[in-house]
A and B are shown apart, each in its own frame.
Chain A
Amino acid sequence: MYGVSQNIKNTANIILKILVVAIFAFPFLWVISVSLQTDAEVNTFPATIIPKTPQFNNYVRAWQAGPFLTYFKNSVVIIVAIITIQMLIMIPAAYAFAMYDFKLKNILFSLVLIAFMVPTQVTFVPVYLMMGEWGLLRTLWPQILPFMTNAFGIFLLRQYFMQVPEELIEAARLDNASELKIVYKLMIPMAKPALATIILFSFVSHWNEYFWPLIMTNTTDVRPLTVGIAALKSTEGFVNWNTIMAGNMFLIAPILIVYVFCSRFIIKAFSYSGIK
Chain B
Amino acid sequence: MRKIDKIKQYVFPYLLILPSMVGIGLFVVYPIIKVIILSFYSTNMINPAKTKYVGFENYIKMFNKVMFKKAMVNTSIYTLVMIVVVLALSLLLAVWLGQKSSRINYICQMAVFLPHIISIVSVALIFVQMMEPNFGLFNSILVALNLPTSRWLQSSDTALMSVLLVSIWKSVGYYTLIFIAALQSVPRDIYEAAELDNAGKFKTFYKITLPMISPQIFFVVIVLTIGSFKVIETIRLMTNGGPNNATTSLVFYIYREVFNNTDIGKGAAAGVVLMVIVGIMTVLYFSSLSKRVHYR
Give A residues with C-beta under 8 Å from B.
Answer: 14, 17, 20-21, 23-25, 27-28, 30-31, 34, 42-47, 88-90, 92-93, 95-97, 99-100, 102, 104-105, 108, 111-115, 117-119, 121-130, 145-146, 148-149, 151, 154, 179, 204, 207-208, 210-211, 214-215, 226, 229-230, 233, 238, 241, 244-245, 248, 251-252, 255-256, 259, 263, 266-267, 270-276
Contacts and interface: CB of A to CB of B under 8 A. Distances in A.
A119 B275 CA distance: 9
A255 B125 CA distance: 17
B236 A214 contact: yes
Nearest to B133: A45
Given A149-B20, A226-B121, A271 B177 contact: yes
Given A21-B108, A210-B120, A210-B121, A275 B19 contact: no
A161 to B, nearest CB: 12
Interface stretch (B10-18, B156-164, B191-199, B202-210): B10-18
Contacts, number: 246
Contacts of B20: 89-90, 92-93, 112, 149, 154
A267 B278 contact: no
A207 B38 CA distance: 31
Q: Is the interface of A mostly helix, strand, loop or mixed?
A: helix
A39 B171 CA distance: 32
Q: For chain B, which range describes its interface: under 10, 10 to 19, 20 to 34, or 35 or more residues?
A: 35 or more
Interface string B119-137: 1111111111110101111
Nearest to B123: A27
B295 interface: no
A17 B24 CA distance: 45
Given A93-B16, A123-B28, A149 B23 contact: yes
B274 interface: yes
Nearest to A88: B19
B104 interface: yes
Nearest to B30: A126
B71 interface: no
Contact of A125 (B107, B118, B264): B264
A229 B121 contact: yes
A104 B18 CA distance: 12
A90 B19 CA distance: 9
29 contacts: A24-B111, A24-B114, A30-B137, A45-B139, A46-B140, A47-B137, A105-B13, A112-B24, A115-B24, A119-B230, A119-B278, A121-B254, A122-B230, A123-B35, A125-B31, A125-B35, A125-B258, A130-B30, A148-B19, A148-B22, A149-B22, A179-B12, A210-B119, A233-B125, A244-B129, A245-B126, A248-B122, A274-B178, A275-B216
A47 B140 contact: yes
B32 A123 contact: yes
Contacts of B111: 20-21, 24-25
